[in-house]
Structure 1
């Protein structure tokens, strides 16, 4: 499987392949390690836990998801259906 997403590992200063091509899973995997997420083919930033909800939502719009506050946590939400995606740690 060719990775669609990369995580930036701040400690070693390099990209790591994310073992999921599902955008929501990829973000939650990287976020758990406090890594930013990039498109593999362009190395363009598409998510950062250091950005606010509006900034992340603008980056994620092309994927049909946004970042929201829900029940005291930041979560991803499908723009079209309104489905809220739970992180594995919640």
Structure 2
């Protein structure tokens, strides 16, 4: 009879909402790095909603001027480029 070792906890096993909250605390270079770690992280950070919330948070936290158009008018790539500024 063999004894199975418990599986090690993995961040990807956390609910998406928790991972999302963690990622929202990262700076832009860290987000770029995290996108390359695994497909799960890439898919989370490759959505329009993620970048919408990230840009909105940047504007609030750093008193940045929001994009010229309403944030809702931008797609995820445009929002990601704006966050790079």
State the TM-score bracket (shorter-chain normalisation): 0.3 to 0.5
Higher helix fraction (1 or 2): 2
Between 1 and 2, higher relative CO (CA 8 Å, sep ≥ 6) is seen in 2
Higher strand fraction (1 or 2): 1
Q: Which has the greater radius of gyration?
A: 2
What is the TM-score of this pair, normalised by structure 2? 0.33
What is the TM-score of this pair, normalised by structure 1? 0.32
